[in-house]
């Protein structure tokens, strides 16, 4: 990646309230905090990146990023990273890669690709109505959160959805590692009639050694997400015969440069990588989307439609993107309001 001369690097901490709690099997999140990095280049171009780790999906925590910026303030750590002389925390590498990529993009905005984003939702009252509303907005790929507790409801919903929309929509299921092996086997047998893109993280962590047996008894592609937060873990997953899809979060797996290297290895194995967010703000999402535009060939939707989780949404992101996203006044105003401090 081209690395131009930077005149000044600043950082600002933020904390944003979520519209609704983000709840997983392990924790509940009510707000999102992180650090925005601002770079001013010698030609006065200003670009932004975001360092927002999120444990347990990331190995590091936001306190690690803060400590690094304090301890390394007097060192030229960005140049050392650019020349391969040192590694950075994964989320900080993501931020630095973003400001560099954004600079290059500002000098060449030509884009000949497009990117579709998936919509994520959980089943509940009025699920079909919600599906219709999202479809009207332009979404055609839907990531459905499932569990053993709602497996019967999931099957009923899929029957109704495919009956109404037929092949004009696509579904991918995310089980968040919640099914015991026997229940997973039964569920996969029941869903075999549907043209699902894939089922992600279906087995409980304690049943992970039974994935190979599970794959032998289903035609539905299996995807992995949990635990793919290091280069080594992803490279190991690439070699697993039954993995068809790998879910990568660039903020957690080393930044844009590291992601690019991993994508090339995944493609060589004829597998598919789906890039997703780590609940970044609009700054990080913009970086991820603009980076992904020339890479994605339009076959699979990416998971970057998460800006709506915030109580205030500063940059509406459409479900279909055909050109690089720019900053609008609302997002620019929020960035101006942050407490900036020189860090390099």
pLDDT, tens digit, 9 for 90 and up, residues 140-155: 999 999 999 999 999 9
Q: For residue 295, what pLDDT is reported?
A: 81
pLDDT of 110 over the 70 cut: no
Max avg pLDDT among 47-56, 74-83, 296-305: 47-56
Report how far residue 260's alpha carbon sits from residue 252's, in angstroms, rounded to the nearest whole number: 14
Q: For residue 83, what pLDDT is reported?
A: 76
Query: What is the number of H-type helices and E-type strands within the chain?
Result: 11, 13
Q: For residue 303, what pLDDT is reported?
A: 95
Q: Which domains does the chain possess?
A: 6-110+333-342 (3.30.390.10), 115-324 (3.20.20.120)
Report how far residue 63's alpha carbon sits from residue 60's, in angstroms, rounded to the nearest whole number: 8
Report residue 237's pLDDT band, with 50, 70 and 90 as the boundaries. very high
pLDDT of 2 over the 60 cut: no
pLDDT of 88 over the 80 cut: yes
Mean pLDDT, the chain, integer: 92
First-to-last C-alpha distance (Å) of the chain: 20
Task: Say if CB 185 and CB 175 are below 8 A apart.
Answer: no
Nearest residue to 253 (alpha-carbon basis) of 80, 21, 94, 25: 94
Placement of tokens 């905005």 in the chain? 109
Report how far residue 88's alpha carbon sits from residue 82's, in angstroms, rounded to the nearest whole number: 10
CB count, 10 Å around CB of 186? 13
Q: For residue 260, what pLDDT is reported?
A: 94
Q: For residue 290, what pLDDT is reported?
A: 94
pLDDT of 1 over the 60 cut: no
pTM of the model: 0.93
pLDDT of 181 over the 60 cut: yes
CB count, 10 Å around CB of 244? 17
pLDDT of 188 over the 70 cut: yes
Report how far residue 214's alpha carbon sits from residue 202's, in angstroms, rounded to the nearest whole number: 10
What values do phi and psi take at 250, rounded to 5? -55, -35
Report how far residue 99's alpha carbon sits from residue 300's, in angstroms, rounded to the nearest whole number: 26
- The model's pLDDT over 292-315, given as tens digits with 9 standing for 90+, comes to 998 866 589 999 999 989 999 999
Report how far residue 276's alpha carbon sits from residue 289's, in angstroms, rounded to the nearest whole number: 10
pLDDT of 3 over the 90 cut: no
Max avg pLDDT among 73-82, 108-117, 162-171: 162-171
pLDDT of 4 over the 70 cut: no
């Amino acid at each position: 990646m081209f690395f131009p001369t930077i005149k000044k690097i600043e950082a600002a901490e933020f904390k944003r309230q979520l519209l609704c709690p983000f709840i997983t099997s392990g924790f509940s999140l009510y707000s999102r905090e992180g650090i925005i990095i601002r770079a001013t280049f010698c030609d006065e171009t200003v670009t932004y990146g975001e360092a927002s780790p999120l444990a347990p999906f990331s190995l590091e925590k936001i306190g690690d990023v803060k400590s690094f910026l304090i301890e390394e303030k007097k060192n030229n750590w960005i140049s050392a990273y650019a020349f391969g002389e040192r590694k950075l925390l994964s989320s900080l590498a993501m931020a630095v890669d973003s400001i560099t990529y954004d600079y290059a993009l500002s000098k060449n905005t030509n884009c000949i690709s497009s990117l579709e984003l998936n919509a994520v939702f959980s089943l509940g009252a009025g699920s079909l109505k919600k599906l219709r509303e999202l479809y009207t907005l332009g979404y055609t790929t839907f990531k459905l959160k499932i569990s053993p507790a709602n497996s019967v409801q999931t099957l009923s919903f899929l029957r109704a959805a495919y009956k109404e929309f037929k092949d004009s929509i696509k579904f991918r299921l995310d089980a968040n590692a919640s099914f015991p092996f026997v229940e997973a086997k039964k569920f996969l047998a029941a869903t075999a009639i549907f043209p699902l893109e894939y089922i992600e993280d279906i087995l409980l962590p304690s049943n992970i050694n039974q994935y190979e047996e599970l794959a032998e008894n289903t035609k539905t592609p299996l995807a992995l997400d949990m635990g793919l937060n290091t280069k080594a873990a992803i490279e190991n997953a690439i070699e697993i015969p039954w993995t068809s899809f790998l879910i990568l979060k660039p903020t957690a797996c080393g930044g844009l440069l590291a992601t690019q290297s991993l994508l090339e290895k995944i493609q060589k194995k004829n597998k598919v990588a789906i890039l997703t967010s780590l609940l970044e703000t609009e700054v990080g999402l913009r970086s991820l989307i603009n980076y992904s535009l020339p890479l994605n060939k339009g076959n699979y939707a990416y998971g970057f439609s998460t800006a709506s989780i915030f109580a205030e949404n500063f940059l509406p992101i459409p479900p279909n993107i055909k050109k690089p996203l720019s900053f609008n006044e609302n997002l620019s105003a929020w960035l101006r309001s942050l407490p900036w401090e020189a860090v390099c």
